[in-house]
């Protein structure tokens, strides 16, 4: 491990990222207590140099190319770089500082160039192609054959077949895209951080006590004693939109949310979006594809944009019709409050909640006391134990932020499976939304399993006053969802690192299937207890919750599908010439498809981080494609009449969760389910399926007795 001398003659603190193998932390988790922002850049530089040397060793090996000295060696290369990058990405997304942002801006284009040097290395590709061409005669195991084919395809998609001039241009494009991604994320983070709606005690009409206490605490933390702070983070904004009877305040905060990256100032993202589309479409053409959407989907389960559009279009029309019915039900409520007023997008949450109370006698605030964060997490641990036999034990390990917590995950036989971090509350410098990722991915080294270190990051309401963090029903589903990703990562048992990843439209299956258990009565019995009295959630409240399961699904589905369609539409462009981002969005959603003005897409382009800074470009449809699978898979549990059926869960773990990308997603799914998935459970779960009328029984003409 290297050290640097100071002028005083003393040695600077050693950089732990330069010698990862020497870590002596429990379970070899990252020593966050010793890692400093200034350690990342030297670690990236060292890791890239080591990776270059590993690649050079493959290229200069004079032995005949074979699976071991080319494919296996390539798969094993770059371990240090992967681990440094994973740690940096997880920490910077959850705890961004000016120092980390400077590292990100410095290193991202260098990483892109490093990747291109390898992907376009003609001598390396020649060796890979040699093994690929003889793959069918090498007596390879199925996972080895898939590894050869996947690595070969990866090189082709990285430009290995291009001429020198086109390779140089592709490198320029990739570097520019990496810089644009960093800038887009930086703008959005700054937009989120700079907006503050400070209210006085006379401006809180309609807000429940818990919402007020949380806002007061948030204001106190920024030195505004006696005020109430609301921000653009979902746990802060959504309660204001849902409960505030001050329509002007609802309008103010929602318009600020919608305007992010779209204010023609130094944080505007419209130019960046045009650059993304120009560069991505050019990249696709260089690689032989008509559009960037064609390029992306060629490696997904859908295979083509047409297949993705077919699914989205099948959902769009009934969802929009249902949303129109929901709007018609809410319009009289607005009319009663403000005669002659036009229903606007910032009215939807408020009047939907009023309608929920009217139709189901259910107030979301009635549920929150039963959904304390600790209880919900305990319920999820219970579910994982019932399904898979695993357990969770709190551990004392280094944390990158003092608000985090960590658990050792023990398999059914009490062996160590991995470590799981939780980072659950919003703060400055933290990305919005929720996600799950690795600090270290599962792999094998020298025949031994390297156990994963996984993190779940969310933005849930903070504890306020004497109350713990109390979740909404949506928050509960979010935690179940991200925990599903964590299980997928923890259960991975993949021999080759390059086979860990699955198709994008398959990756949400393990997460979304977990949501199905969240509000089942058998699950609610385990975790839904009142945070003060410890009384179980009343049966009547459970019935109301389940009866309202399809409530507002027209809105929820429409805003989701609108975002997926707008993503596919902009990435199906073959040129960005003359692209007006706002006009294009309006044209494809409102003019072409009839999106009503009272519903905004879940993400507008200028803050659509998933597709411009999050790996979901031309892939936001992934959620709905995977939902088709998750609903069909959960139907398997329903049909068994045991929602905790261990036999089915073990098969799901064995055929889906453990295998990563050792086979294509549909093959994995068929192996689990024993057949093709059905769309009906998904459409039914969203209230979009109309049961066909039973065909009338055919009348059977009885013979005349006189004929005998």
Question: What backbone torsions phi and psi does residue 454 show, to the nearest 5 degrees?
Answer: -120, 150
Return d(Cα 585, Cα 565) in angstroms, integer.
Answer: 10
Per-residue tokens: 198: 């400070």
| Amino acid 696: pLDDT | 58
The partner residues of 199 in beta bridges, in order of sequence, read 228
How do the residues of the chain divide into helix, strand and coil, expressed in percent and rounded to 5?
60, 5, 35
Catalytic site residue from 175, 482, 515, 655: 482
| Amino acid 694: pLDDT | 61
| Amino acid 229: pLDDT | 97
Per-residue tokens: 247: 């329509």
The partner residues of 423 in beta bridges, in order of sequence, read 457
Q: Count CB-CB contacts under 10 A for residue 197.
A: 18
CA 284, 288, 290, 295 torsion-angle sign = negative
| Amino acid 702: pLDDT | 42
Strand order in the sheet with 435-440: 391-394, 405-410, 416-423, 453-457, 435-440
DSSP notation for 540-571 = HHHHHHHHTTTTTHHHHHHHHHHHHHHHHHHH
Is residue 482 part of the annotated active site? The answer reads yes
Return d(Cα 412, Cα 389) in angstroms, integer.
Answer: 5
List, in order, residues 6 or more apart from 518 with CB less than 8 Å away.
476, 477, 480
DSSP state of 259: T
Residue among 143, 653, 598, 116 nearest 390 (CA)? 653
Return d(Cα 97, Cα 106) in angstroms, integer.
Answer: 14
> Rg of the chain's alpha carbons, rounded to an integer?
27
Residue among 563, 595, 125 nearest 320 (CA)? 595
Per-residue tokens: 341: 């007023």
| Amino acid 517: pLDDT | 98
Return d(Cα 134, Cα 143) in angstroms, integer.
Answer: 16
Q: Count CB-CB contacts under 10 A for residue 548.
A: 16
The partner residues of 457 in beta bridges, in order of sequence, read 423, 435
Return d(Cα 574, Cα 302) in angstroms, integer.
Answer: 20
DSSP state of 302: S
Per-residue tokens: 586: 């309006």
CATH for 21-119+121-161, among 2.40.50.140, 3.40.630.30, 1.20.1050.40, 1.10.287.70?
1.20.1050.40
| Amino acid 5: pLDDT | 35
Contact yes or no for 621/567 (Cβ under 8 A): yes
Residue segments in the chain with a per-residue pLDDT below the cut of 70: 1-12, 691-708
Per-residue tokens: 676: 């093709």
| Amino acid 705: pLDDT | 41
Q: How far, CA to CA in Å, does 422 sit from each of 374, 436, 468?
A: 11, 9, 16
| Amino acid 407: pLDDT | 98
Return d(Cα 230, Cα 248) in angstroms, integer.
Answer: 14
Contact yes or no for 454/436 (Cβ under 8 A): yes
Q: Where are the alpha helices (DSSP H) in 494-606?
A: 504-507, 509-515, 521-527, 539-547, 553-571, 581-586
Query: How many CA atoms lie less than 13 Å away from 170 in the CB half-sphere?
Result: 24
DSSP state of 528: -
Contact yes or no for 25/453 (Cβ under 8 A): no
| Amino acid 666: pLDDT | 96
Q: Count CB-CB contacts under 10 A for residue 324.
A: 16
The partner residues of 464 in beta bridges, in order of sequence, read 467
Three-state SS for 226?
Answer: coil
Q: Count CB-CB contacts under 10 A for residue 708.
A: 5
List, in order, residues 6 or more apart from 451 with CB less than 8 Å away.
27, 416, 417, 418, 419, 440, 442
In this structure, the strands spanning 405-410 and 391-394 are antiparallel
| Amino acid 7: pLDDT | 42
Return d(Cα 362, Cα 550) in angstroms, integer.
Answer: 13
Residues in the chain: 708
Q: Count CB-CB contacts under 10 A for residue 637.
A: 20
Return d(Cα 55, Cα 42) in angstroms, integer.
Answer: 20
Per-residue tokens: 206: 């309609």
DSSP notation for 19-71 = -GGG--SGGG---TTT--HHHHHHHHHHHHHHHHHHHHHHHH--SPP-IIIII
Query: How many CA atoms lie less than 13 Å away from 691 in the CB half-sphere?
Result: 4
The full set of domain ranges for the chain reads 21-119+121-161, 195-258, 623-685
pTM, to two decimals: 0.93
Return d(Cα 143, Cα 319) in angstroms, integer.
Answer: 41
The partner residues of 467 in beta bridges, in order of sequence, read 464
Q: How far, CA to CA in Å, does 251 sit from each of 56, 345, 349, 596, 607?
A: 59, 8, 12, 17, 18
| Amino acid 12: pLDDT | 60
């Amino acid at each position: 491990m290297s050290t640097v001398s100071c002028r005083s003659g003393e040695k600077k603190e050693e950089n732990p990222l330069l010698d990862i193998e020497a870590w002596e932390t429990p379970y070899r988790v990252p020593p966050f207590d010793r890692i400093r922002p200034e350690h990342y850049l030297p670690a990236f530089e060292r890791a890239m140099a080591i990776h270059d040397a590993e690649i050079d060793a493959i290229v200069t090996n004079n032995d005949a190319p074979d699976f071991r000295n080319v494919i296996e060696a390539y798969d094993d290369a770059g371990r240090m770089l992967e681990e440094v990058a994973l740690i940096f990405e997880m920490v910077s997304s959850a705890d961004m500082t000016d120092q980390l942002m400077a590292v990100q801006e410095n290193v991202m284009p260098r990483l892109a160039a490093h990747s291109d040097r390898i992907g376009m290395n003609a001598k390396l590709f020649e060796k890979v192609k040699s093994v690929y061409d003889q793959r069918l005669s090498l007596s390879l195991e199925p996972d080895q054959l898939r590894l050869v084919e996947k690595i070969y395809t990866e090189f082709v998609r990285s430009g290995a077949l291009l001429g020198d001039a086109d390779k140089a241009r592709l490198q320029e494009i990739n570097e520019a895209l990496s810089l644009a991604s960093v800038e887009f994320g930086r703008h959005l983070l700054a937009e989120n951080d700079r907006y503050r709606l400070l209210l006085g005690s006379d401006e809180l009409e309609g807000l429940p006590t818990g919402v007020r206490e949380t806002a007061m605490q948030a204001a106190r933390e920024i030195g505004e004693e006696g005020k109430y702070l609301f921000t653009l983070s979902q746990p802060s904004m959504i309660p204001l939109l849902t409960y505030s009877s001050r329509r002007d305040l609802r309008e103010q905060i929602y318009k600020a949310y919608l305007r992010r990256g779209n204010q023609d100032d130094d944080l505007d993202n419209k130019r960046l979006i045009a650059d993304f589309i120009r560069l991505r479409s050019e990249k696709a053409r260089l690689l032989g594809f008509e559009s960037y959407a064609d390029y992306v989907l060629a490696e997904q389960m859908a295979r083509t944009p047409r297949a993705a559009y077919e699914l989205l279009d099948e959902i769009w029309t009934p969802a929009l019709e249902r949303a129109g019915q929901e709007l018609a039900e809410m319009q009289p409520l607005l009319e009663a409050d403000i005669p002659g007023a036009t229903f606007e997008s910032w009215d939807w949450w408020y009047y939907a909640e009023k309608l929920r109370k009217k139709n189901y006698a259910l107030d979301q605030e009635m549920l929150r006391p039963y959904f304390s964060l600790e209880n919900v997490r305990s319920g999820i641990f219970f579910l994982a134990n019932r399904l898979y036999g695993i357990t969770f034990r709190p551990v004392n390990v280094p944390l990158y932020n003092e608000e985090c917590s960590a658990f050792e995950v023990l398999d059914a036989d009490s062996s160590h499976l991995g470590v799981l971090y939780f980072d659950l509350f919003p703060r400055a410098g933290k990305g919005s939304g929720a996600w799950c990722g690795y600090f270290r991915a599962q792999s094998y080294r020298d025949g031994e399993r390297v156990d994963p270190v996984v993190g779940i990051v969310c933005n849930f309401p903070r504890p306020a006053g004497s109350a713990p963090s109390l979740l909404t029903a949506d928050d509960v589903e979010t935690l179940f969802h991200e925990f599903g990703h964590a299980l997928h990562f923890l259960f991975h048992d993949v021999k080759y690192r390059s086979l860990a990843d699955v198709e994008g439209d398959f990756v949400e299956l393990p997460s979304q299937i977990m949501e199905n258990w969240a509000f089942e009565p058998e699950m609610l019995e385990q975790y839904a207890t009142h945070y003060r009295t410890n009384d179980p959630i009343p049966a009547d409240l459970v019935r109301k919750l389940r009866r309202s399961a399809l409530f507002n699904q027209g809105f929820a589905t429409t805003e989701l599908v609108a975002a997926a369609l707008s993503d596919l539409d902009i990435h199906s462009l073959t040129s960005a010439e003359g692209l007006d981002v706002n006009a294009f969005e309006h044209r494809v959603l409102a003019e072409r498809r009839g999106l009503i003005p009272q519903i905004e897409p879940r993400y507008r382009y200028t803050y659509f981080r998933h597709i411009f800074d999050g790996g979901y470009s031309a892939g936001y449809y992934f959620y709905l494609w995977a939902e088709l699978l998750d609903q069909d898979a959960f139907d398997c549990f329903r049909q068994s009449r045991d929602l905790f059926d261990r036999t089915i869960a073990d098969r799901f773990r064995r055929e889906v969760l453990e295998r990563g990308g050792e086979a294509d997603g549909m093959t994995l799914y068929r192996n689990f389910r024993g057949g093709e998935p059905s769309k009906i459970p998904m459409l039914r779960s969203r209230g979009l399926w109309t049961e066909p009328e039973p065909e009338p029984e055919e009348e059977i003409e009885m013979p005349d007795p006189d004929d005998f």
